[in-house]
Amino acid sequence: MKKFQYRLETVLAYKTQVLDNLKTEHATIVQNVNRKKEEIQGLNRELVGYESRFDQAKVEGLSIENYRLFDMCIGRMEEMIDTEKERLKVLRKEENAKKQEVINAKVDTSKFEKLKEKKIVEYQKVAMKADEMFVEEFVSGVALRQRHQNRG
């Protein structure tokens, strides 16, 4: 019997390649999300540093110019944090969209994989029947020859 061949192997290979590419893209976006989170944490630490120095300076007494300078720095840090949080939201939306693409591609690919598995099982059943038929024919042929030899 001829070797098993899955007619849709090229389609399965293409679908698998698309899935792998989408997984890579998703991983890149996840990395970007994580970097953005770390960046926001760093900005928050910087803000806390400014605020604690400002509180310390208030206790020690500071000029109006320094007060305004601290106030501007803290305000600017808060703006930067808000801006980066908005960028994080955009990245998370991208990540969720790409995740959905990966899920859809996985479902699509798994359909072809399951079909291939089903075809392999069918092929194996046919091959087994063919082997059984061959064995039966061989055994009956041997038995027939032995009867002929015993008569002769």
- Decide: helix, strand or coil at residue 33: helix
Tens of pLDDT along 115-144? 889 988 988 888 888 888 887 877 777 667
Asked if the model's pLDDT at residue 98 lies above 90, the reply is yes
Give phi and psi for 115, each to the nearest 5.
-65, -40
Please give the residue range of the domain that contains residue 24: 9-110
127 lies in some domain: no
152 lies in some domain: no
Domain count, the chain: 1
pLDDT of residue 21: 97
Asked if the model's pLDDT at residue 110 lies above 90, the reply is yes
70 lies in some domain: yes
The pTM of the full predicted model, rounded to 2 decimals, is 0.72
Tens of pLDDT along 17-58? 999 999 999 999 999 999 999 999 999 999 999 999 999 988
3 lies in some domain: no
